[in-house]
Amino acid sequence: MSPSIHPTAIIDSDCQIGEGTKIWHFSHLMPHCRIGQNCIIGQNVFVAEGVTIGDNVKVQNNVSIYAGVEVEDDVFLGPSMVFTNVLNPRSFIERKSEFKQTLVRKGATIGANATIVCGCEIGRYALIGAGAVVTKSVPDYALVVGNPARPIGWVSAFGHTLAFDAAGMATCPESGKQYQLKNNQVIEL
């Protein structure tokens, strides 16, 4: 199934867009970006030159994905969430050589209006609460909220809060999959 691109979207040269991907109203994909298969690129989304987005990614309305950001498969980027790419921007100083890399790992969710400060890695299946301001890397399966974002628990790959027992074991109520918490890290068994 070929990509579906709304007539108001602007797709610059040499963009790779995977099968089944839908690109909605007023979005702009800059040259040389790569969008995977079965993605949804919402209304008014900007994807900078050279950015890579994996398969099955949902980018909600009003999100800008700047140079230096990489998004792996199965990621959800909530409405109006924000990525940055320079720590100390000034309009009168060009700092493109100072862009910091940001990596959003497989299955992570970033809530509406959250801000991800550049240089962070968002771990696999991590869940960033709406409005959170992430200033440091987030471990796999972590649930973080607030400004600055702080961990308040752990979630399963299905997004359910995990309740660990004294032995450090928990079960996802939806999938039945088991998780282990050891040395402040969660792994799926």
Task: Assign a CATH topology to domain 4-159.
Answer: UDP N-Acetylglucosamine Acyltransferase; domain 1 (2.160.10)
Question: What is the separation of C-alpha 35 from the centre of its chain, rounded to a whole number of angstroms?
Answer: 13
Q: What is the DSSP letter of 136?
A: S
pLDDT of residue 1: 85
Phi, psi of 113, rounded to the nearest 5 degrees? 65, 15
| Per-residue tens of pLDDT for the chain, all 189 residues | 899 999 999 999 999 999 999 999 999 999 999 999 999 999 999 999 999 999 999 999 999 999 999 999 999 999 999 999 999 999 999 998 889 999 999 999 999 999 999 999 999 999 999 999 999 999 999 999 999 999 999 999 999 999 999 999 999 999 999 999 999 999 999
> Domain ranges in the chain?
4-159
Buried b (16+ CB within 10 A) or exposed e, 86-122: beeeeeeeeeeeebeebbbbbbbbbbbbbbbbbbbbb
pLDDT of residue 158: 98
CB 179 within 8 A of CB 187: yes
pLDDT of residue 83: 97
Buried b (16+ CB within 10 A) or exposed e, 134-161: beeebbbbbbbbeeebeeeebbbbeebe
Nearest-angstrom CA–CA distance, 134 and 77 = 14
Determine the 3-state secondary structure of 167 from DSSP: coil
Q: What is the DSSP letter of 98?
A: G
Nearest-angstrom CA–CA distance, 176 and 188 = 11
